[in-house]
Amino acid sequence: MSQVLFDYTRQDASGGSCTAHAWAKVPEPLSPSERTQWKERAAALLKQHGAVLVAHYYVDGDLQDLALETGGIVADSLEMARFGRDHAAKTLVVAGVRFMGESAKILSPDKRVLMPDLDATCSLDLGCPPDQFAAFCDAHPDRTVVVYANTSAAVKARADWMVTSSCALQIVNHLKERGEKILWAPDRHLGRYIQEQTGADMLAWHGECIVHDEFKGLELDLLRKDHPDAKVLVHPESPASVVAQADVVGSTTQILNAVLKSDAKTFIIATDNGLMHRMRQLAPGKTLLEAPTAGRSATCKSCAHCPWMAMNGLRGVVHALETGDGEIHVEEGIRAKAQGCIERMLDFTAKNAAALAQPAFVKNIGPA
């Protein structure tokens, strides 16, 4: 697969890590009584505003619980987009990162979309500036443009298809069978994995998720030796050396389902450790180990947890609903253009639901 080299700056103006600003905005932990109070206040406000909470698996456990207790959802970005579009609520509170709020607004322009903190972004989004991406597309007009969900509305406005990790493999395969050549952006690891699995002709942008990029193949190999019966479940945003050791490669939902369906007792999970909250609730008898991010090349910008996801908290939900701060706006010209690539994905996934429920790659992990 050809790759275009692009790197966003990993340092801020003061020379600090690109994630320092996000970590500085992560809310202080709440005491048990404070958590109860803020949760009750947030639940009352959701009801008062006729709003629904749409939360990603990687956000704070209290927010995940609040979403489920108040008729909302905890899901991956594919299901978040679908749920927000189809729900009758006039206000969506999206707990996740900015591109998720933008996708909700793109699909539901008449709804008010609020987020706990509009500064919550994503290294993949930051690493794919719309003007440079547009020039990349202009240079390759013969290619079908496929972008990952983790991009800005302006980047989606240039795309033919949006995909998530739940459906990227199937959609690229579908395009390959139609004889189309693909321009892929922005995650280089996911792009490489999909190209290897499909054999499609892909020209790829060079971005990465700072969380998954830090999983270490060598240290994972050592951990597997300590736990020889453990099954290894890997998100495809991870490096090739980690994916190569996987029993299952899949999206967050597909990883969760693999744990629930397998008769194995121990799992090593290579994705953001926010997923552990829901996994522990649904699979209480299983041993869940985090894949290692440590080692000689570790930078620990993330330590397996996304700082931008961690910016979401109960107080942010309350503040957004009480003040209207954190409302997502997408310029109408961009929104209308971006809508097509998301709707195309949702139509495809609705028609291929059974195939998409399966992880992209499974070795024998028991009766999964």
Q: Pick between residue 247 and residue 272 the one whose CB is nearest to ligand SF4.
A: 272
String of contacts with ligand SF4 for each residue 173-202, x by CB under 6 A: ------------------------------
Give the β-pairing of 361-362 and 248-249.
antiparallel
Q: Pick between residue 198 and residue 312 the one whose CB is nearest to ligand SF4.
A: 312
Q: Cis peptide leading into 130, omega within 30 of 0?
A: no
Give the shortest CB-180-to-ligand SF4 separation in angstroms: 26
Candidates 219-227, 262-270, 285-293, 304-312: pick the segment binding ligand SF4 (CB under 6 A). Answer: 304-312
Among 52, 54, 93, 97, binds ligand SF4 (CB under 6 A): 97
Give the shortest CB-158-to-ligand SF4 separation in angstroms: 20
Our finding on whether 356 is near ligand SF4 (CB under 6 A) is no
Per CB under 6 A, contacts with ligand SF4 among 108-127 are 122-124
Among 306, 321, 334, 341, binds ligand SF4 (CB under 6 A): 306
Among 232, 309, 320, 362, binds ligand SF4 (CB under 6 A): 309
Residues in the interface with ligand SF4 (CB under 6 A) total 13
Residue recorded with tokens 């109860």: 36
Among 113, 115, 154, 210, binds ligand SF4 (CB under 6 A): 210
Candidates 24-32, 103-111, 207-215, 280-288: pick the segment binding ligand SF4 (CB under 6 A). Answer: 207-215
String of contacts with ligand SF4 for each residue 254-293, x by CB under 6 A: ------------------x---------------------
CB neighbour list of residue 67: distance below 8 Å, 6 or more residues apart: 53, 54, 55, 73, 74, 95
Q: Pick between residue 62 and residue 272 the one whose CB is nearest to ligand SF4.
A: 272
Cα end-to-end distance, the chain, whole Å: 32
Residue 84 · residue 104 · CB < 8 Å? yes
Among 133, 136, 161, 308, binds ligand SF4 (CB under 6 A): 308
CB neighbour list of residue 121: distance below 8 Å, 6 or more residues apart: 22, 97, 98, 99, 308
CB neighbour list of residue 226: distance below 8 Å, 6 or more residues apart: none
CB neighbour list of residue 55: distance below 8 Å, 6 or more residues apart: 63, 64, 66, 67, 72, 73, 74, 75, 80, 94, 95, 96, 312
Q: Would you state the structure tokens that stand for residue 59, as one six-digit string?
A: 């956000």
Q: Pick between residue 123 and residue 254 the one whose CB is nearest to ligand SF4.
A: 123
Q: Pick between residue 233 and residue 306 the one whose CB is nearest to ligand SF4.
A: 306
Nearest-10 crossing angle of helices 168-177, 332-351:
90
**Cα 52 from Cα 351, distance rounded (Å):** 26
**Cα 35 from Cα 53, distance rounded (Å):** 17
E-only strand ranges, the chain: 2-3, 51-56, 73-75, 91-95, 112-114, 144-148, 161-163, 182-185, 202-204, 231-234, 248-249, 266-270, 287-290, 361-362
Among 91, 144, 150, 254, binds ligand SF4 (CB under 6 A): 150
Give the shortest CB-161-to-ligand SF4 separation in angstroms: 18
Residue recorded with tokens 């190569």: 244
Q: Pick between residue 264 and residue 279 the one whose CB is nearest to ligand SF4.
A: 279
**Cα 349 from Cα 171, distance rounded (Å):** 9
Residue 249 · residue 360 · CB < 8 Å? yes
Binding site for ligand SF4 (CB under 6 A): 58, 97, 122-124, 150, 209-211, 272, 306, 308-309
